[in-house]
Amino acid sequence: MYICVMELSAHIHYLLYRHDCVTIPGFGAFLVEQKAAYYDAVNQLYFPPSKVLSFNETLQSNDGTLASHLAKSYGISYERAVMDMHQQTIAWKESLQKGKLSIPTLGDFVLNSEGKMVFTPETGLNFLVASYALPEVPAQPISRTIAEEPAKQPVYFELEQTKSRRVVGYAVIAASVLALFAVGSNSYINQQADAQWESEQVLREQAREQAALSVYDLGDLPTLKIALPKKTEPVAGFHVIAGSFRNEANAQKLAAALQRKGYSGAQKLGHTSQGFYQVSFASFPTKREAYNAMADIKRDNYPDAWVTKK
């Protein structure tokens, strides 16, 4: 059975909703990266969050994701699925040499002047399930202005000279009476406050003496137990794979050999659903750390290393 380009692209499109990286052995890897919602001020539109598609030509090692999915979907062996993918990769590269390669539901490829592949994804692709089919929302800015009120002319009052002198005299007399009243009131209030403070001080001293002479029987107090939160270490879910074996003993041998070469984190991983024992160079909590480590490992004469998530 030979898998045609339309069927293979549909399976890659399906896997990109569930994986951040889908590798086609000998061709490259399709990657998705989450992008936050944003506002286009020119077109006055809000766009929902999304996962945008890109392509990396350097990631060509078989991570088993696509081959395992094809084997399960078509009821064929894993090895047959790898062979069918290899045939499709050859056909894609021949199309590229002739000009433009279009992969349905994914995008287009061309070769630049240096012979490198340049990928342009299809318009409108969004691999984020949470915002699937969400359209862009028009949003126009709201203009808020404050209406200016006409300035009011100040109003001036004029008193006759004789009346103004009389008013000033009354004001001086009233101010004097109020000042005398305020002084007397303040003196009376201060005396009352001092007397109250002295009375309260006497009551406080009596309460302290009584408390010092009292004996309290509280009985047996319960033991206080404090449960401190346990420090959780980050889970290393991304692994840089060195090889995959049907035989567990061969996997153990490779892990021991890598440890002797200085890869202290090398280990045999658990049994996969396809019946393989994978051996990792090291494990990391984030995808970025795993891919950075993989680049260093490839430069250390291990070009077939790849990253998987468990």
Per-residue pLDDT of the chain (310 residues; tens, 9 = 90+): 455 555 888 999 899 988 999 999 989 999 999 888 888 888 888 888 888 899 998 988 888 899 899 889 889 999 998 888 888 889 889 999 988 899 988 999 999 988 899 999 998 888 887 776 778 889 877 877 665 556 666 665 555 555 556 656 666 676 665 666 555 556 666 677 777 777 777 887 777 777 666 555 556 656 666 666 665 566 778 999 988 888 899 989 999 999 998 999 999 988 888 888 999 999 999 989 989 999 988 888 888 888 998 7
For residue 29, the tally of other CB atoms under 10 A from its CB is 22
* CA gyration radius, the chain: 41
According to the model, what pLDDT value does residue 192 have?
A: 74
According to the model, what pLDDT value does residue 42 have?
A: 87
According to the model, what pLDDT value does residue 240 have?
A: 92
Domains and CATH numbers, the chain: 5-138 (no CATH), 238-309 (3.30.70.1070)
- Tokens found for residue 305: 């290393």
According to the model, what pLDDT value does residue 176 have?
A: 66
Q: Degrees (nearest 5) of the Cα angle 80, 93, 124?
A: 95
According to the model, what pLDDT value does residue 124 have?
A: 80
CA neighbor of 56 nearest in space, from 88, 28, 26: 28
Q: E-assigned strands of 106-179?
A: 107-111, 117-121, 137-138
C-alpha 165/C-alpha 159 separation (Å) is 9
According to the model, what pLDDT value does residue 43 have?
A: 85
AA identity, residue 148:
E
Do the Cβ atoms of 65 and 23 come closer than 8 Å?
A: yes
Which residues face 138 on adjacent strands?
Answer: 45
Do the Cβ atoms of 102 and 8 come closer than 8 Å?
A: no
According to the model, what pLDDT value does residue 186 have?
A: 61
Q: What are residue 5's phi and psi, to 5 degrees? A: -65, -35
According to the model, what pLDDT value does residue 180 have?
A: 61
| Chain centroid to CA 101 | 35
According to the model, what pLDDT value does residue 189 have?
A: 67
CA neighbor of 280 nearest in space, from 242, 307, 224, 238: 242
